[in-house]
Structure 1
Amino acid sequence: MRIALLTYSTKPRGGVVHTLALGEALARAGHDVTVWALARGGDTGFFRAVSADVDVRLVPVPDVEGEGVGERILRSIALLARGFSGSFDVVHAQDCLTANAVGRVRGYGALWRTVHHLDVFTTPELAACHERALVEPAGLVCVSEAVAGEVRAGWGRAPAVIGNGVDAARFAAAAEAGAGEPWRARYGRYVLAVGGIEPRKGTLELVEAMASVDAPLLIAGGDTLFDYRGYRDEVFARAAALGVEPVVLGSVDDAGLPGLVAGAAVFAFPSTKEGFGLAAMEALAAGVPLVARDLPVLREVFAGAARFADGPEGFAREIRGVLDGSDPELDPAHATVGRALAAAHTWDAAAAAHLALYRRGFTGSD
């Protein structure tokens, strides 16, 4: 099949990681895959090298000084709609922005769209984009049953559920090779959060939790499409008031990420909304204890392999339990459960499930 996958960015965000890994797995299965992406800020490629078996098409989105979020959304949609071309059997958008863009293009079959998680937006243009991308695509895919349930309840649609894959071997190998040692030598026993500083990632609550934890907090991850400077200012002000000094790493080079993850004493995952939790699954692959927010979706994905918490006090308690060794679940057998869970989520299996879905779409069979 000729398959087009579309993503809104070239940066190492969860949906972009998903798009590239899925595209490479589909190509390994013998299909003709093209990945389309919006390239902002002069980017000329993705955050990592992409398999030569995957064709990459980037649509430049030049920066416009003073442009608001709504204007940027509409301009991005228009640019991708004009730039998208080719003959494809399957067109699969990985976010609401690209679904809106290719939904305006004709000349291919039905549009698929993956719903990684659901958001509530106040920007009118973005709220409308979000709604259209749930209503108009012919088929929806969710990465967890919890998100699929939200879609069924809110929009009356019946998404397919196909979980993420994870490159578990890469993170396990980093742990076995001692790639975390340089990070530990520099920061000691540290708590790691990946995903940047934004409301959905629960950064403020994590900073408040760290006020009673005797360990440094490292935060990795770059900026997203939205302007969260106000939230970042709030986080830093609260950190200063509490005497917490988070180490903000920004985007970490893809080659260095497994070592950073493997070196952590605890991986903190306080997100208020998630569809699956790919970064947390990578931590489990490296054998790192996981403390996650007690959300239905995270219970679904990580039950038996994570410690769950709510609020700053809960996160502080669970993180301290890992660091001081008082957590009864902190033993080699529990780490083995996490590694096995991560290893079970392969991108080749995810690709096979997508291919089966695409074929059912062609034949109209169940």
Structure 2
Amino acid sequence: MRIALATYSTKPRGGVVHTLALAESLARRGHDVTVWTLGRGGDTTFFRPVDKAVRIEAVPFPPVDGEDVGQRIARSIDVLGSALAWHLATAPELPDVVHAQDCISANAALGAARGAGVPLVRTVHHLDAFTTPQLVACHDAAVRHPDALLCVSEAVASEVETAYGLTPTVISGAIDAARFAAASRSDPAARAARRAWRADLGRFILAVGGVEPRKGSLDLLEAWAVLRRHRLDLRDVSLVLAGGETLFDHRAYRAAFDARAAELSAELGAAPVVLGSVDDGVLPSLVAAADVVAFPSTKEGFGMAPLEALAAGVPVVARDLPVLREVLGEAALYGRSVLELAEALGVALGGGAPSPSLGRAVAAGFAWPRAAAQHEEFYTRVARPRTITLPTPDAALIA
């Protein structure tokens, strides 16, 4: 099959990571796969090397001074949509399906795919509650108007059905468990990589995903502060946050986080370590070096980061959300409030987390080869058969 996947960014956000892994897995199954994206900030490819069997189309998207979030969203849709429309109108062979992974790429692909007669699939990773009018419209249209919907968990599919009256097909997300398991091994290279992180960070709680409201960063900061105040045996445990910024404007939230971190530093004599984006090649060793991986997100569609931690044999403390219960099961500890998260972190740091073998078994159940095979079967059902127009028989010849 010819498959076009579309995503909104080249940066290591969850949907982008999902898109690349899916593309590579489909290519290994013999499909012709192209990934379309916006090349923000001069990017011409993604944050990590991509299998050469996958073609990359990074549409230039230079910054515009003074542009607000709504304007940037509208321009993103227009630029990516125009590039897709031109390609579909001029390509010698059309894709069998266009598959968008977020509301921006879905809106960009809507007109282009319809105009070319190609079905548009959308994966709804999670539902958001936006306030920016352009984002509200983008989010809504990207659920209502594609030809077919996928979700990466039953929990999100249920939310979509409740909110929109639509029934998506569920194909669970996946991770490269072997890559994170390798980072936890006892061979010299893996041990040295972990020691390097520990030399810089000491004992630490790790959160992957950046500082933003949906990731529950402020709640995690407060939970860590509770541990520092009330657990003398854990006062040497630092808090480390890794992950880059999103397309959306979370400057006010980041400012509130930084201000609270400064207050806690004055009170407790310690401040969180914010690493920003971490190179994909060293991320597994960072995860494997952590004492606990915290995942206090207030809204999620799947949960790659905690599964990757489980694959590395690292305890996980997650927000008690239906989707995370669905994916992580009994392999994680859970909390809803700041105090509950702090208590669960204390238990994990004290050796009371579920067994690493259980976590590894759960993580191994979410493998890309199986997810790619399920996508292949879904595309086959969704793709429209190509119609072939045969010449009209000559009546005289028939006679």
Q: Report the TM range for the smaller structure's normalisation.
A: over 0.9
1:342 and 2:356 aligned: no
**Correspondence for 1:2:** 2
Deviation readout 1:178-215 (Å, 9 max, x if unpaired): 23221112211100000000000000000001112221
**Correspondence for 1:113:** 122
Which runs of structure 2 are paired with 1:280-291 in the superposition (5 Å)? 280-291=306-317
Task: Indicate conservation of the 8 Å contact 2:209/2:241, yes or no.
Answer: yes
Deviation readout 1:155-183 (Å, 9 max, x if unpaired): 01110001111100000001102232211
- Displacement of 1:242 after TM fit? 2.4
Distance 1:315 1:180 in 2: 25
Deviation readout 1:216-268 (Å, 9 max, x if unpaired): 01100001001111101111111222235110100000101000000000000
For residue 72 of structure 2, give the secondary structure of its aligned residue in structure 1. Answer: helix
1:11 and 2:11 aligned: yes
- % identical aligned pairs: 58
**Correspondence for 1:249:** 275
Distance 1:116 1:149 in 2: 12
The alignment's C-alpha RMSD in Å is: 1.2
Letter in 2 for 1:102: A
Deviation readout 1:292-343 (Å, 9 max, x if unpaired): 0000110111111100011111111111112223x2x45xxx1111111111
1:89 and 2:96 aligned: yes
**Correspondence for 2:340:** 314
Distance 2:384 2:222 in 1: 53
Task: Indicate conservation of the 8 Å contact 1:277/1:298, yes or no.
Answer: yes
Which runs of structure 2 are paired with 1:177-196 in the superposition (5 Å)? 177-178=190-191, 179-196=193-210
For residue 255 of structure 1, give the secondary structure of its aligned residue in structure 2. Answer: coil
Distance 2:157 2:120 in 1: 18
1:99 and 2:106 aligned: yes
TM-score for both structures, normalised by structure 1: 0.96
**Correspondence for 1:275:** 301
Q: 283, 287, 302: which is aligned to 1:261?
A: 287
TM-score for both structures, normalised by structure 2: 0.88
Which runs of structure 2 are paired with 1:1-366 in the superposition (5 Å)? 1-84=1-84, 85=87, 86=91, 87-105=94-112, 106-176=115-185, 177-178=190-191, 179-213=193-227, 214=235, 215-243=237-265, 244-325=270-351, 327=352, 329-330=353-354, 334-362=355-383
For residue 121 of structure 2, give the secondary structure of its aligned residue in structure 1. Answer: strand
For residue 196 of structure 1, give the secondary structure of its aligned residue in structure 2. Answer: coil
> Unpaired runs of 5+ in structure 2?
228-234, 386-399
Task: Indicate conservation of the 8 Å contact 1:91/1:108, yes or no.
Answer: no
For residue 223 of structure 1, give the secondary structure of its aligned residue in structure 2. Answer: coil
Task: Indicate conservation of the 8 Å contact 2:177/2:308, yes or no.
Answer: yes
Distance 1:167 1:255 in 2: 13
Distance 2:34 2:71 in 1: 28
- Displacement of 1:363 after TM fit? 7.1
> Unpaired runs of 5+ in structure 1?
none
Distance 2:118 2:83 in 1: 18
Distance 2:337 2:60 in 1: 41
Task: Indicate conservation of the 8 Å contact 2:97/2:383, yes or no.
Answer: no
For residue 83 of structure 1, give the secondary structure of its aligned residue in structure 2. Answer: helix
Distance 2:350 2:371 in 1: 38
Letter in 1 for 2:244: G
Task: Indicate conservation of the 8 Å contact 2:118/2:384, yes or no.
Answer: no
Distance 1:304 1:143 in 2: 19
For residue 9 of structure 1, give the secondary structure of its aligned residue in structure 2. Answer: coil
Task: Indicate conservation of the 8 Å contact 1:91/1:110, yes or no.
Answer: yes
Distance 1:324 1:307 in 2: 13
Distance 1:278 1:153 in 2: 25
Letter in 1 for 2:221: V
Task: Indicate conservation of the 8 Å contact 1:208/1:239, yes or no.
Answer: no
Letter in 2 for 1:261: V
- Displacement of 1:44 after TM fit? 1.8
Letter in 2 for 1:100: N
Letter in 2 for 1:145: E
Distance 1:170 1:131 in 2: 36
For residue 104 of structure 1, give the secondary structure of its aligned residue in structure 2. Answer: helix
Task: Indicate conservation of the 8 Å contact 2:119/2:384, yes or no.
Answer: no
Distance 2:105 2:12 in 1: 17
- Displacement of 1:104 after TM fit? 1.3
- Displacement of 1:359 after TM fit? 1.2
Task: Indicate conservation of the 8 Å contact 2:119/2:383, yes or no.
Answer: no
Range with bigger deviation, 95-104 or 211-220:
211-220
- Displacement of 1:49 after TM fit? 0.3
Distance 2:344 2:101 in 1: 34
